């Protein structure tokens, strides 16, 4: 399985982290590491989520995350082979 990182720009609002992690949990994808901080614009936060999965899982995660109202931008970062 490949490790991969998703970078998200999301609304900086209570409950948003729950929506993101809930989406991973519901589809059975484990989160290996998670990093969140406020951007220079306090309306938004930046998240980095590291997870494991093949190309199918990566595509699904990116597309499902893109549907969330609070998610403004999704970027799939370069993957590292394990």
Using the rule CB under 8 A, is 56 a contact of another protein? yes
Residues 6+ apart with CB under 8 A from 56: none
Report the site for another protein in 2-41 (rule: CB under 8 A).
15, 18-19, 22, 26
Structure tokens at 30: 């484990």
Q: For another protein, which is the closer residue by CB, 26 or 82?
A: 26
Q: Under DSSP, is residue 67 helix (H, G, I), strand (E, B) or coil?
A: coil
Q: For another protein, which is the closer residue by CB, 60 or 79?
A: 60
Using the rule CB under 8 A, is 54 a contact of another protein? no
| Gap between the Cα atoms of 61 and 76, Å rounded | 9
């Amino acid at each position: 399985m490949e490790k991969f990182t998703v970078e998200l720009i999301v609304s900086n609002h209570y409950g948003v982290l729950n929506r993101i992690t809930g989406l991973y949990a519901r589809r059975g994808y484990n989160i290996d590491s998670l990093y969140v901080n406020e951007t220079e614009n306090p309306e938004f936060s930046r998240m980095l989520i590291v997870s494991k999965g093949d190309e199918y899982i990566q595509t699904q995660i990116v597309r499902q995350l893109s549907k969330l109202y609070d998610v403004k931008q999704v970027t799939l970062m370069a993957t590292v082979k394990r």
